Amino acid sequence: MKQRVLSGILMMPLLILVYLGGKPLMAGCFLVGVLAVREFFSGFRATGINPSNIIAYVSAVGLYAVYILNADDRLYILWFFCTGMACLIYQLNIADRKITDGAATFTGIFYGIFLSFHVVLTDGVMVWLIFISAFGTDIAAYFTGFAIGKHKLCPNISPKKTIEGAVGGVAGSVALCGLFGYFLLNDIFIHCLVIGAACGVISQFGDLTASVFKRNMGIKDFGNLIPGHGGVLDRFDSVLFTAPAVYYYIMLVLN
C-alpha cells in the first residue's frame, strides 16, 4: 500500500503536464514513448530476441516531426510504411538477426510509441478522460478485488485479478468519468459515461496484455523506475489502450 501511495506522488508531474497541455504534454509523451519502447526491448532481449533501438528512436522522432510540422495527415501513412520497411530491412543480416528481431522492433514501436502518441492527438480537456479512466479503473479494481474478490479473472495471466475487481474497476471508471463530465463537460455528459464504461474494459485489456508480454519474457516488471509499479510500461500499460479509445471515440462519434 505504501508503495502505491509513493507511486501516486511520483505521478504528480504527469498531471501537471496534462494540465499544461500543448508542448509540455507532447514532450512528456515523447519521453514516455521512448522509455516505454526501451523497456519493452529489454524484455525481448531477456528471451534472446534483439530488436533495434535505433529504428525505434528514429521512428519516434519522425512521428512527432509530422505532428509538429502540422503536415498532411497522409504523412502518417508514410510514417507507418517507412517504419515497417525499416523493420523488414533490419532482418536482412541473416547471419546475426532473426525474423523475430524485426517483428519485435515493429511491435515495440507500435505498442510503446504509436499508442502513447494518441495522448498528444487528444490534447484538450478530454485528454483527462484517458487518465481518469485508466487510473480510476486500476484503483477501483484493486480495492474492490482486495475487499470482495473471490473468483479469478485470468489465473494463467494475472493470478491476483478477480472478476469482482474487474467489475469494480469498470464501475469506478464510469463513476469518475461521469463526475468529470458532469462538472466540466456537461453538454456531453452521456458520452463521458460511455467512454468511462468502454475504457473501464479496454484499460484492463491493456493491463492483461502487458502481463502476457511479461510472462512470455520471463520478467516480473518491465523496469524499476516507479516504486510499486516497476517501469514506465508497468504504469502506463492501460493508458496505451485508453488513449486510442478516447481519441477515436472523439473522432468517430463526437466530430
Residue 8 has pLDDT above 90, yes or no: no
6 & 33 share domain: no
Residue 1 has pLDDT above 60, yes or no: no
How far from chain centre, in Å, is Cα 142? Answer: 18
pLDDT confidence of residue 34: 97
Residue range 75-79: mean pLDDT, rounded = 96
189 & 238 share domain: yes
What the block records as the C-alpha cell of 234 is 508497468
pLDDT tens digit sequence for 106-139? 999 999 999 999 999 998 999 999 999 999 999 9
pLDDT confidence of residue 244: 98
- Sign of the alpha-carbon torsion through 66, 128, 225, 80: negative
Asked whether residue 220 is domain-assigned, the answer is: yes
Residue 4 has pLDDT above 70, yes or no: no
162 & 242 share domain: yes
Mean pLDDT estimate for the chain: 92
As for how many domains the chain has, the answer is 2
pLDDT confidence of residue 204: 97
pLDDT tens digit sequence for 34-76? 999 999 999 999 999 999 999 999 999 999 999 999 878 899 9
116 & 130 share domain: no
Asked whether residue 150 is domain-assigned, the answer is: yes
Residue range 20-34: mean pLDDT, rounded = 95
Asked whether residue 199 is domain-assigned, the answer is: yes
pLDDT confidence of residue 229: 62
Confidence of residue 15 (pLDDT cuts 50, 70, 90): confident
Asked whether residue 169 is domain-assigned, the answer is: yes
Final residue of a structural domain among 72, 92, 123: 123
pLDDT confidence of residue 255: 84
Range(s) of the domain holding residue 183: 1-11+125-255
62 & 178 share domain: no
pLDDT tens digit sequence for 153-186? 999 999 999 999 999 999 999 999 999 999 999 9
> Are the C-beta atoms of residues 87 and 20 closer than 8 Å to each other?
no
Final residue of a structural domain among 90, 123, 156: 123
pLDDT confidence of residue 235: 86
- Please name which of 137, 111, 118 lies closest in space to residue 203, comparing C-alpha atoms: 137
76 & 90 share domain: yes
Rounded CA-CA distance 47/45 in Å is: 5
> Are the C-beta atoms of residues 234 and 13 closer than 8 Å to each other?
no
pLDDT tens digit sequence for 180-205? 999 999 999 999 999 999 999 999 99
42 & 81 share domain: yes
Asked whether residue 151 is domain-assigned, the answer is: yes
pLDDT confidence of residue 14: 77
228 & 243 share domain: yes
DSSP symbol at 226: B
Using the structure block, give the residue that is written with the C-alpha cell 514513448: 33
